[in-house]
A = this chain, B = another copy of it.
Amino acid sequence: MMGKLTARAIAERALEIGDAEGLDAVTIRRLASDLGVTPMALYWHFKNKEQLIIGMADHLIGGFAPKPADQRPWQEQLRDLTEGLINTLRTHPCAKHVIEQIDAVAVPNFLAVWDQALGLARTAGFSVEESCLITKYLLQSAIAIADAPVHDQAFLSGEDLAQQVRFKRLGLQSLPGESYPHLVEMAGPLVEPKDPHLYDTFGVDLVLSGIEALAARR
């Protein structure tokens, strides 16, 4: 009736639910009912819920296929990779939670970008263990940057969003000013940034500056 029930279709629908209502709303039973099928039908395509979330992650990362290593300097390639990560984290609100909940080793597409990042870190002159840490650091940094207060295309309707922002700011402003002076003062910008684009470049600069500074000392 509405397309075949395939592992890919299930993962895609799961991502839609997760992006729209949060990862907690992605439930085997809810997902099945959305797909017009019995909960147990999903167990044919995924061994359990953990594998389902891994499927979501794989589909997510598959979105930005890492190009094969080219001849540009590693700084540029690393920047591309970081921006790609940030971008998919931005377009998929639930990506953060998905990535946090699973083991990267189980996600094929994730292994691909991880391997590429490891290679770039090695060519930058870092040791094996340093490269290991740098790649983890890069992922977490991307999460931090992508986690900036939502600016556009939110899944909430415009009114709900505005109200939620107002609510959060009020919560910050009503804190005891003597205990949290900076939080109270910065309540506005903390919940609704003005320039998302500048926000991006600054964040990526921040991450790459650290890596390049240490690479220069090798």
Q: How far is the CB of A105 from chain B (nearest CB, A)?
A: 6
Report if A199-B133 is in contact (Cβ < 8 Å); known contacts: A100-B100, A119-B181: yes
**In the complex the two chains form, what is the Cα distance from A68 to B100 in whole Å?**
32
State which residues 129-165 of A face B: CB under 8 Å.
Answer: 129-134, 136-137, 139-141, 143-145, 147-148
Would you call A211 an interface residue if the criterion is a C-beta within 8 Å of the partner chain's C-beta atoms?
A: yes
B140 touches A183 (CB 8 A): no
Q: Is the CB of B141 within 8 A of A189?
A: no
CA distance A144 to B135 in the complex (A): 9
Q: Report the minimum CB–CB distance from A80 to chain B (whole Å).
A: 18
Contact with B along A192-218 (1 / 0, CB 8 A): 011100010011011111111110000
B119 contacts A145, CB within 8 Å? no
Given A114-B180, A137-B207, A206-B210, 6 more pairs with CB closer than 8 A: A105-B171, A118-B182, A118-B186, A119-B182, A139-B144, A209-B213
